[in-house]
């Protein structure tokens, strides 16, 4: 990836982090870079290519956070590893809600992502459960909790830390 493409993706990330994925346009990215929008096409194929790169980077960052979380738990057992995984997932998603939504809403552009990225990013769920179906169920719990939390769908008096802990315990 060239330095200019990195600049374009960084500008797009700023737009998405600040205003959400719906605000991502070639003009918005160009405005961030103080250039004219047609100049972007010298470096990227279009908006979808930028979105795919943002999704890839978001999955990579999530995967790094999840792998690090379970590695830090080492010998703490399945319960500790599951709790650490879920805490890292929640932290990462809530820290970057618009990127999280971009990466997890709608169909995943699997064919355009770097080979093996999706499997690697999701591998921590398998590592803590030891079963592919249980791993998918755990990810579904984590994703659902994050989306509900982002959308403020829980009542104000909800003890979400406890809900996350109960979910971790259920999968441990």
CA–CA separation, 60 and 131 (whole Å)? 22
What per-residue confidence (pLDDT) applies to 3?
A: 86
> Which DSSP helix (H) or strand (E) runs through 56?
helix 47-73
Per-residue pLDDT in tens (0 to 9) along the chain, 172 residues:
678 899 999 999 999 999 999 999 999 999 999 999 999 999 999 999 999 999 999 999 999 999 999 999 877 788 999 999 999 999 999 999 999 999 999 999 999 999 999 999 999 999 999 999 999 999 999 999 999 999 999 999 999 999 999 999 999 8
Q: What are phi and psi of 151, to 5 degrees?
A: -85, 0
Q: What are phi and psi of 108, to 5 degrees?
A: -85, 130
What per-residue confidence (pLDDT) applies to 73?
A: 85
What per-residue confidence (pLDDT) applies to 75?
A: 72
* Domains recognised in the chain with CATH numbers: 1-44 (1.10.10), 55-171 (1.10.357.10)
Enter the pTM of the model: 0.94
What per-residue confidence (pLDDT) applies to 76?
A: 79
What per-residue confidence (pLDDT) applies to 50?
A: 98
């Amino acid at each position: 990836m060239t330095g200019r493409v990195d600049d374009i993706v960084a500008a797009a990330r700023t737009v998405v982090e600040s205003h959400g994925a719906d605000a991502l346009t070639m003009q918005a990215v160009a405005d961030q870079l103080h250039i004219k929008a047609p100049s972007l096409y010298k470096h990227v194929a279009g908006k979808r290519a930028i979105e795919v790169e943002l999704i890839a980077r978001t999955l990579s960052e999530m995967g790094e956070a999840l792998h690090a979380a379970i590695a830090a738990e080492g010998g703490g057992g399945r319960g500790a590893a599951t709790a650490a995984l879920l805490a890292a997932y929640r932290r990462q998603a809530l820290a970057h809600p618009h990127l999280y939504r971009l990466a997890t809403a709608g169909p995943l552009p699997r064919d355009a992502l770097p080979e093996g990225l999706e499997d690697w990013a999701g591998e921590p769920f398998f590592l803590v459960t030891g079963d592919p179906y249980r791993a998918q169920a755990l990810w579904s719990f984590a994703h659902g909790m994050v989306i509900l939390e982002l959308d403020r769908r829980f009542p104000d008096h909800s003890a979400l830390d406890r809900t996350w802990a109960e979910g971790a315990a259920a999968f441990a």
